[in-house]
Amino acid sequence: MRGSPVLLSQFKSSGIARVSGHKPFLRRSFPSCPACRHISASARRSRSAPQPADDPNFMSIVDNPATLVRTGRKHGPGLIILALIPITAFALGTWQVQRLDWKSKLMAKFEDRLVRDPLPLPPHVDPAAIKDFDYRRIYATGHFRHDQEMLIGPRMHEDTNGYLVVTPLEREGEGTTVLVNRGWIPKKLKLQKDRPDGLPQGEVTVEGLLREPWKKNRFTPDNKPETKEFFFPDVNQMASLTGSQAVWIEETMEPDLLKSWDREARGIPIGRPAEVNLRNNHTQYIFTWYALAAATSVMLWMVVKKPPADLTRRVRQNKDWS
């Protein structure tokens, strides 16, 4: 049945037509927009232009993929320093073990000398032989030369400032004088006129320890013998100043609190006890160094075994793509 003119016109306007009894079809129409026509023309030209994949030597990202790496090094110089700390601490701890053994043997040797009976001091003493008699108990008889007295200070005794009194002991015979460290006096009794009881006259017998010359601390100022200011016992300097032998004797006394108070009040020097007073802190040094070595070893293990953080992982671009 033929369609009416109105329907036919609608079919034509919508792009649907009948062709010799076939079913209607949709006619393809090109866009009327200028921009769309330009894009279609560009697409047709790009299909006709040569593509990189047409080159047989072309290499794509599939053929040469990127590499998953960590940006920066996993461990830097800090790890080397951290590894050196436990090694150094362990070596120092081992060295302190050796020092403890040496110090213990030295103190045992000195204590063995202390328990022996005192020896009379020879008229002339070889300074080179004093090392073999260090801490040996001796006694010597003579007269104190108070006019050549020297004060070493400041020196503390039970939180009180004062001085060490060093007086030459003149014995019979020429060149037999020796230096005697008589002990400590308070600062307020520095002048001899204020302590007459501390200036014995006549012949006296001194019992004490034969000691090696002291070694100066690098923080101690130099002595000023011209003004009689002495900050440390320089035995050779004091010996040349007084014309005595370079022999240092430390006078000893029995520890007695009441006797010490009486001496301090009267200005009589307080002598040292007959005991070894060497410092021996090597045990605590050993504990300190070995504890530091153990702690830093644990820290090193934790740093090495720590898994890398995901935020530090990056994709490195491959620069060899063609």
Quickly state the pLDDT bin for 34 (edges 50, 70, 90).
low
- Shortest CA distance to 208 belongs to which of 114, 282, 145, 281? 114
CA distance 19 to 25: 9
pLDDT, tens digit, 9 for 90 and up, residues 153-173: 889 988 899 999 999 999 998
Model confidence over 172-196: pLDDT tens digits? Answer: 988 899 999 999 999 999 999 999 9
Confidence (pLDDT) at 38: 56
Q: Is the pLDDT of residue 311 over 50?
A: no
Greater confidence, 69 or 193? 193
Write the CA distances from 50 to 54, 83, 277, 303, integer angstroms.
7, 60, 98, 55
**pLDDT confidence of residue 11:** 44
Q: Could you give the angle at which helices 77-114 and 282-305 cross, rounded to 10 degrees?
A: 160
Q: Please, what is the average pLDDT of the chain?
A: 81
Tens digits of residue pLDDT in 90-111: 999 999 999 999 999 999 999 9
Number of Cβ atoms within 10 Å of the Cβ of 192: 15
Q: Kindly report the CA angle at 89 between 83 and 91, in degrees rounded to 5?
A: 105
pLDDT value at residue 18? 47
**Mean pLDDT on 42-48:** 59
**150, 166 Cβ separation under 8 angstroms:** yes
The per-residue pLDDT for 26 is 45
The two beta strands, 150-157 and 178-186, are unpaired
What residues contact 197, with CB distance under 8 A and at least 6 apart?
266, 267, 268
Average pLDDT over residues 16-39: 50
Confidence of residue 71 (pLDDT cuts 50, 70, 90): low
Measured distance CA(95)–CA(225) in Å, rounded: 40
Instruction: Give the lowest-confidence range in 233-242, 260-269, 296-305.
Output: 296-305
Residue 74 has pLDDT above 90, yes or no: no
Mean pLDDT of 2-8: 48
Q: Is the pTM of this model over 0.85?
A: no
Strand partners, 251: 208
Instruction: Find residue 208's DSSP bridge partners.
Output: 138, 251
168 prior amide bond cis, ω within 30 = no
Q: Which two tokens stand for residue 286?
A: 């050993």
- Give residue 77's pLDDT: 72
pLDDT classification of 63: cutoffs 50, 70, 90: low
CA-based Rg of the chain, rounded to a whole angstrom? 51
Between strands 203-211 and 136-144, the pairing is antiparallel
What pLDDT does residue 144 have?
96
pLDDT tens digits for range 208-262: 999 987 778 788 888 888 888 899 999 999 999 999 999 999 999 998 899 999 9
